[in-house]
A and B are shown apart, each in its own frame.
Chain A
Amino acid sequence: MTHSGVLAEVDWNIARNVFFYLFATIQVIAAIKVVTVKNIVHAALYLVVVLAGVAAQFILLGAEFVATTQILVYIGAVVVLFLFGIMLTRANLGADADLDQDNRVPALLTGLLLAGVLVATLLRTFEDIEFPTETRSTTARVSDSIFSQYIVPFEAVSVLLLAALIGAIVVARKE
């Protein structure tokens, strides 16, 4: 390997780390905002930040097709659906003190305990296993895989989506 090749690899690794920690910090802050903020519309908009951050992590992992799908399905459709849900249930669009349960402290303890156990276990199990430094585009392999090995689950998911669509209409329509 040439000297410049080594240098480029090191640069790439540093860049990946910098962007990982940048996106991860934004994501965690936005996720905490989603579960604590008093305004329900702001919670939906913070959810957009979390979902976009997940898409950015997918791109850093070389999974650009999943990242695109994430943006199209989540930010394009799911968040709009949430906003519709907020409007249709005529929630208070301003600040609302009534969004939280009374048992916030046990919930916080549960969350912290879960995070502690998960992080401690992960750190012990996967101590310092390194990622492969190169990531390459996988979209062609994903499509090959979906339409050969996973064709039956793929068709099942399309039927499931149709069933969910009809089910949602049946449940939500007026008599």
Chain B
Amino acid sequence: MWLNQYLVLAAILFSIGVYGVLARRNAVLVLMSIEIILNSVNINLVAFGAFNDTVTGEVFALFVIAIAAAEVGIGLAIVLLIYRNRRSIDLNEADLMRG
């Protein structure tokens, strides 16, 4: 079993998540793609932790999970606010900062 198996899996999931962030226009779906990205990073952290026989990777993965939970809460609250003000969560229509 190679270390690379996990690293390549994480890289592929990361790229799929990046595609999702770029290609989706619904804000909730963009948040879901960000979750895929965060999870691929967690696979890397835990794999390197197991490889070096330390628990630091696992501890960092736990912190990332906690931060991701906070991020989803705030993100969905912002999406709800955008929906309430503009009746749409299409990211192309949230262009108030355009000059």
Check B19 against A107 for contact (C-beta < 8 Å).
yes
Known contacts A119-B11, A123-B4; A88 and B83 CB within 8 A of each other = yes
Whether A86 touches B28, Cβ cut-off 8 Å, given contacts A50-B36, A78-B72, A157-B66, is yes
CB interface residues, B 60-99, toward A, < 8 Å: 61-63, 65-74, 76-81, 83-84, 89-90, 92
- Say yes or no: B6 contacts A47, CB within 8 Å: no
Q: A34-B20, A107-B22, A115-B11 are in contact. List 20 more A-B contacts (CB 8 A).
A: A34-B29, A40-B26, A40-B28, A54-B43, A62-B50, A73-B66, A78-B69, A81-B73, A99-B26, A100-B23, A107-B19, A126-B2, A126-B4, A131-B1, A132-B50, A145-B55, A157-B66, A168-B76, A171-B80, A174-B84
Chain B residues close to A by CB (< 8 Å): 1-9, 11-20, 22-26, 28-29, 31-33, 35-36, 39, 42-43, 46-47, 49-51, 53, 55-56, 58-59, 61-63, 65-74, 76-81, 83-84, 89-90, 92
Closest-by-CB residue of B relative to A92 is B26
- Partner of A150 from the list B28, B59, B71 (CB cut-off 8 Å) is B59
Q: Which single residue of chain B is at the shortest CB-CB distance from A157?
A: B66
Would you list 27 pairs from A and B whose C-beta atoms are within 8 A, ordered by A residue? A17-B1, A27-B13, A28-B13, A34-B32, A35-B23, A35-B33, A44-B32, A57-B9, A57-B43, A58-B42, A58-B43, A70-B42, A73-B66, A78-B72, A82-B28, A85-B80, A89-B79, A98-B90, A99-B25, A101-B22, A108-B23, A110-B19, A128-B2, A129-B4, A130-B1, A132-B50, A161-B66
